[in-house]
Amino acid sequence: MHIAVVGSGYVGLVAGACFADLGHEVILVDNDEQKLAALKKGEVPIHEKFLPELLQRHRGQRLTFSDDLHAAVLASDAVFIAVGTPPTEQGHADLSYVESVASSIPSAINGYKVIVEKSTVPVYTSEWVRKIILRNAAAPDSFDVASNPEFLREGTAVTDFLFPDRIVVGADNERCAAVLRAIYAPLTDGSYYKREDAIPQPDRAQIPPPLIVTSTKSAELIKHASNAFLAMKISFINAVASVCESVGANVQQVCQGIGSDSRIGPRFLNPGIGYGGSCFPKDLKAFREVARECGYEFRLLDEVMHINEEQRNRFLRKVRSALWTLRGKRLAVLGLAFKGGTDDIRESPAIMLVQTLLQEGCRISAYDPAAQERACEVLNSRVEFAESPYDAAQGADALLILTEWDEFAALDLHRLHSQLKYPIIIDGRNLYDPESMAALGFTYHSIGRPVVTPEVRSLAAEASPRAAKK
């Protein structure tokens, strides 16, 4: 198939590269000249596992980059719209980029085309896209508008795309659904997975994935409802963690107990400093506004958002309770990205916490394996950026873990202990086992688990660094 993907951000770039890997001819369109120039030169603008390999494999061959939307639409059977849909001040999704792309499409319709919403958009957007295209003089039977929501998590977006739990296609007629079925056929017929050069299969992959065809409105809702449900799961466990702290229970054990119920499941039950990122915060607000406009007050979502904000405040209270006063304290911060495995800092709870700690007069030395450059644009000279976690810890009054990077769960804790001025760790991501931390001589605060203080025992007596368990 010939495919145009408009918008080469986190979603569009991954989708374009993966479509090329499925064997399609893809033109990635963007209006950001700098980004296009970088992509053409072979640079990879985002930190995403397997993306460099895919871009290297297909760049200049099945995958080309262009700023010419008209030419890309002319050459394509399907046009995926993956431009940003940022929130407005009122919490609605700003659809002006989507509208601008839709209004440029009609002049390039030279045969039947399917216009696919890939960006997360409120229900009814497909109707609007259709109206805009018709208003600009396209013949009604020359195109259809479909919704094909993405469920990509940053950091694992490529494997999420190629090994999805399900593919959702919202299409209001069979002609349109058939185009999307053909695009995803290498996944749904399993042929992609037989290839020697296929991207390695992750754990828990369902092969071949099911393709669910719904109405476009249902597909639009599936995306918002999925994200809202996942955010609710996180806020739920964060609320349970707060109760655990009050009664001296251990949230990890509670999670194991409730997550083993197959109706609940263990995933997305990790307590922390609250969810962030470009999707959950904005999609929850947008979903609440959509519901409100349709006459339903979705108060549950308000509470999910409230718990999320409160989770950051609770973490600040933990820092205060560990250090007493904050002015002039030197803090080591591990993690700035909104989650592990990405360089994205959009709506990062880590960045928000760092900003508050700076306002409180703390001095901060921070380390993140991928997000430092982006964080520097926001925090600039107010934060000292370190070369490694150990550098960041040097001489600090305490160490804060704010992002769940795998590498932070595998630190040399003896070394860390010797770098810190005081061996205090406030872990917002529960990366370590409290007992082991106490045995290693740390005062260790985490989420939903009792605070532990050092056992009276010499560190030197330990034969080797103890592997701290997640």
CB closer to ligand UDX, 115 vs 396: 115
- Residue 110 CA to residue 202 CA, distance in Å, equals 40
- C-beta closer to ligand UDX: residue 186 or 335: 335
40 contacts 13 by C-beta, under 8 angstroms: no
Q: Whose Cβ is closer to ligand UDX: residue 83's or residue 420's?
A: 83
Backbone angles phi, psi at 6, to 5 degrees: -100, 120
Q: What share of the chain is helix, strand, coil (3-state, %, to 5)?
A: 45, 15, 40
Number of residues that bind ligand UDX (CB under 6 A): 41
By the rule CB under 6 A, 65 interacts with ligand UDX? no
The whole-angstrom separation of Cα 75 and Cα 69 is: 10
Closest CA to 270 of 254, 283, 282, 284: 254
Q: Segment contacting ligand UDX (CB under 6 A): 16-24, 82-90, 383-391, 394-402?
A: 82-90
- Report how far apart the first and last C-alpha atoms of the chain are (Å, whole number): 44
Q: Any idea what DSSP says for residue 469?
A: P
Pair 121, 221: CB distance under 8 Å: no
What is the contact mask toward ligand UDX in residues 316 to 355, using x (rule: CB under 6 A)?
----------------------xx----------------
Among 26, 230, 413, 424, binds ligand UDX (CB under 6 A): 230
* Active-site residue identified among 244, 279, 294, 362: 279
Question: Which one among 3, 4, 5, 8 touches ligand UDX, defined by CB under 6 A?
Answer: 8
Nearer to ligand UDX among residue 351 and residue 357 (C-beta): 351
Which one of residues 79, 82, 95, 370 is an interface residue with ligand UDX (CB under 6 A)?
Answer: 82
What does the alpha-carbon distance between residue 451 and residue 443 come to, in Å, rounded to a whole number? 7
- Give the residue, chosen from 16, 277, 428, 441, that forms a contact with ligand UDX under the rule CB under 6 A: 277
Known active-site residue 279: yes
Verify binding: residue 446, ligand UDX, rule CB under 6 A. no
Using an 8 Å Cβ cutoff, are 13 and 126 in contact?
A: no
Amino acid at 199: I
| By CB under 6 A, residue 269 contacts ligand UDX | yes
Under 8 Å CB-to-CB from 137, ≥6 apart: which residues? 106
Measured from the CB atom, is 21 or 220 closer to ligand UDX? 220
314 near ligand UDX (CB under 6 A)? no
Round to whole Å and give the CA distance between 333 and 398: 9
Q: Which of 2, 23, 31, 360 binds ligand UDX (CB under 6 A)?
A: 31
Q: Which of 122, 170, 208, 276 binds ligand UDX (CB under 6 A)?
A: 276
* Minimum distance of ligand UDX from residue 410's CB (angstroms): 18
Residue from the set 126, 278, 365, 419 that interacts with ligand UDX by CB under 6 A: 278
Which residue, judged by CB position, is nearest to ligand UDX in the bound state? 9
Q: Mark residues 140-179: x for contact with ligand UDX by CB under 6 A, - for none.
A: ----------xxxxx-------------------------
**Phi–psi pair at 256, nearest 5 degrees:** -60, -45
**Least distance between ligand UDX and beta carbon 442 (Å):** 23
Classify residue 260 by burial, with Cβ atoms within 10 Å: 0-12, 13-18, 19+.
exposed
> Contact region for ligand UDX (CB under 6 A) — 77-85, 164-172, 319-327, 369-377?
77-85
Q: Which of 14, 354, 305, 350 is nearest to 154 (CA)?
A: 14
| Closest-CA residue to 230 (of 187, 277, 291) | 277
Of the candidate spans 30-38, 363-371, 372-380, 420-428, the one that interacts with ligand UDX by CB under 6 A turns out to be 30-38
Q: Are 440 and 459 in contact (CB under 8 A)?
A: yes
d(CA 344, CA 149): 20
Q: How far apart are CA 336 and CA 49, in angstroms?
A: 18
φ, ψ at 445 (rounded to 5°): -105, 140
Among 170, 272, 281, 369, indicate the residue that binds ligand UDX (CB under 6 A).
272
| Dist CA 119 CA 332 (whole Å) | 37
Which CB sits closer to ligand UDX, 164 or 423? 164
Pick the binder of ligand UDX from 64, 76, 120, 216 (CB under 6 A): 120
Q: Is residue 35 near ligand UDX by the rule CB under 6 A?
A: yes
Q: Are 93 and 56 in contact (CB under 8 A)?
A: no
* CB closer to ligand UDX, 144 vs 220: 220
The DSSP bridge pattern shows strands 63-66 and 78-81 to be unpaired
Chain length of the chain: 470
Which residues are known to be catalytic?
A: 279
Interface contacts to ligand UDX, rule CB under 6 A: 6-12, 30-32, 35, 82-85, 97, 100-101, 119-120, 150-154, 227, 230, 234, 268-270, 272, 275-280, 338-339, 404
